[in-house]
Amino acid sequence: MGPKEKKESCGSEKEGGIWFTISRRNFLTLAGWALFFAAIGAYLGELFGYKGFFYPKVLFEPSPKFAVGEPKDFLPDSVTTLKSRKIFVVRDGDSFKAISVVCQHLGCAVEFSKEKNIFECPCHGSKYYRNGVNFAGPAPRPLDHFQMVLDDNGRLVIDTSVKVPLETELIV
């Protein structure tokens, strides 16, 4: 008689239970595969980022081209600050300009002083004339001017992706 073969199994089979039985070797094999797939999943998750696989990788930013209203919405000889757009709308008679609020020194937001009729930077004291030209402080150049046009509906439309020379103005 040969040696008796001994099978490894969980006790539940012997006891006539309904539980699934598995050998230690099979258990370790399954655990190994589970670890392998978990590592692959973690790697792919890192690669595509959470939800990255399902969504395009784009930045959602507001359009650089936007309407700010009709000319009559701006008082004659006024400077209107559009904080959310970081723009000054400067009206002098029938002339309109769109000037950036971003200081040309280190990028602080300049403010318009009604009393002095100039733009002043609160950070390091740069000063700009009403037309955006710098005349004091560390700012190395004038404020940026952006393209402004009148659309078919009679609204002023500014495009901050298009810089224009300082002397450019929209006459309405």
Q: Which one of residues 82, 123, 164, 166 is an interface residue with ligand FES (CB under 6 A)? A: 123
Q: Does 158 bind ligand FES (CB under 6 A)?
A: no
Under the phi-then-psi rule, with left for phi > 0, alpha for psi from -120 to 50, and beta for the rest, what region is 49? left
Number of amino acids touching ligand FES (CB under 6 A): 12
Q: Whole-angstrom Cα distance, residue 78 to residue 93?
A: 9
Q: Answer yes or no: are the C-beta atoms of 146 and 98 closer than 8 Å.
A: yes
Place of tokens 């959310």: 84
CB-wise, 126 or 160, nearer to ligand FES?
A: 126
Q: Which one of residues 139, 156, 158, 170 is an interface residue with ligand FES (CB under 6 A)? A: 139
**In this chain, which stretch among 34-42, 59-67, 122-130, 145-153 interacts with ligand FES, using CB under 6 A?**
122-130
Which SS3 state, helix, strand or coil, does residue 40 take? helix
Q: Which one of residues 28, 31, 39, 106 is an interface residue with ligand FES (CB under 6 A)? A: 106
CA-closest candidate to residue 142, choices 92, 88, 96, 103? 103
Q: Give the footprint of ligand FES on this chain (CB under 6 A).
A: 103, 105-106, 108, 121, 123-126, 137-139
